[in-house]
Amino acid sequence: MPFSRVIGQDTPVNVLRRALRSGKTAHAYLFEGIGGCGKGTTALAFVEAAFCGRDDGCGTCPSCRKMATLQHPDLHPVEPDGAFIKIDQVRELQRELVLRPIEAPLKACIIRDADRLNPAAGNALLKTLEEPPGNALMILLTTNLDGVLPTIRSRCQLLRFAPLPEELIEERLVAAGRDRAAARLAASLAGGSLGKALGDEEADTVDRQALLERLRTLSLSDTASLFAAAEEMAANREQALKQLDVLASLLRDILLIQGGSDAVVNRDIMPFLESEAARLSREKNLERISNTMEARQALMRNANPRLTLDVLLMRLAG
């Protein structure tokens, strides 16, 4: 998996390739960014290049071929076992890292969701970071930097991965065979995550017209209907997140119409968008976008879905 497989992340990739060329790689890295933006792909490309002894994997040597199938004996991936990464997993990793590499010039581990190390596992890993084995490369991945222990963060070189541009995601989806209109919609809902866009073949599973109609009819004088709508949305967290993504896309299109732009994504329901653009003030629409994104972030932080959506719908109705 060479670095050419990584898209839209030139800055962290260039940092890593310079380190490989100079022979001055850090013993531990922390890759931070949203899910699906290329952190895992970059980590694998970095390990492949380090094992290959170049600033990029050649793709043809035995080491690179084993990395392509994730079967290299000196690569040690760690993922949460259930809700957390547990201390037994870290202890097993520690036993592996102190051993001599089997084939490569060093051993490497990739720890996904480093923010989900439980306290015991985090403290155990900290000891390894404080006294790292001389022939080990450690890469931690996280979508929630605040959830990573500060002591662990301070002992890793931090590389930030930016959300991918919508245009780049759209072109990748089209290249993968997605219809242009569907690709544009999926890219607008992906929040900068190619992984999310590729994994959501049915980006338009939310009834957008019904969502707009619900938004139009929300009223603080009919709290029974408002709370019933919130309860329905809160029943499935993933579906609620998808609905909020769609709602943000619709509100953004309404804002574009209000500003005279023709860069609207949801063109197939243009009459409904134009109706809302005429009904709402630009300031009110901006407020609704802010409220929607705040609710989405709360759900991503595992806030109570029912309470979050109750508050959101009351704000949208206000």
Give the tens place of pLDDT for each residue, 277-291: 998 899 999 999 999
- Residue showing tokens 């500003």: 259
State percent of the chain over pLDDT 70: 97
**What is the structure's pLDDT at 202?**
45
pTM: 0.72
Three-state SS sequence of 250-290: HHHHHHHHHCCCCCCCCHHHHHHHHHHHHHCCHHHHHHHHH
Q: Which of 12, 33, 241, 299 is nearest to 144 (CA)?
A: 33
CA distance 212 to 125: 48
* Angle subtended by helix axes 237-258 and 223-234, to nearest 10: 120
One-letter amino acid at 107 equals K
pLDDT at position 273 over 70:
yes
Q: Is 103 exposed, middle or buried (0-12, 13-18, 19+ CB in 10 A)?
A: exposed
Mean pLDDT on 245-254: 88
Which residues face 199 on adjacent strands? none
> Looking at residue 265, what is its pLDDT?
80
DSSP label at 199? H
Query: What is the DSSP code (8-state) at residue 117?
Result: B
Whether the predicted pLDDT of 201 surpasses 60: no
Residue 102 φ/ψ, nearest 5 degrees = -80, -45
Task: Over range 290-304, report the average pLDDT.
Answer: 88
> What is the model's pLDDT at position 54?
92
Identify any residues that bridge with 32 across adjacent strands, giving them in sequence order.
142, 160
The predicted structure's pLDDT at residue 133 = 82
Q: What is the pLDDT of residues 91-121, one digit of tens each?
A: 999 999 999 999 999 999 999 999 999 999 9
Average pLDDT over residues 27-51: 94
Share the mean pLDDT of the chain. Answer: 89
**What average pLDDT does range 239-250 have in this prediction?**
86
Q: What is the predicted pLDDT for the residue at 61? A: 94
Long-range contacts from 99-103, C-beta under 8 angstroms, 24+ separation: 100/135, 101/74, 101/135, 102/73, 102/74, 103/51, 103/62, 103/63, 103/66, 103/72, 103/73, 103/74
Q: Any idea what DSSP says for residue 165?
A: P
Measured in residues, the chain has a length of 318
d(CA 112, CA 45): 15
Query: Is 205's pLDDT higher than 70?
Result: no
Overall average pLDDT of the 52-71 stretch: 93
Condensed to tens digits (0 to 9), the pLDDT of residues 120-152 reads 999 999 999 998 887 899 999 999 898 999 999
**In angstroms, what CA-CA distances link 299 with 91, 177, 191, 237, 314?**
33, 32, 15, 8, 16
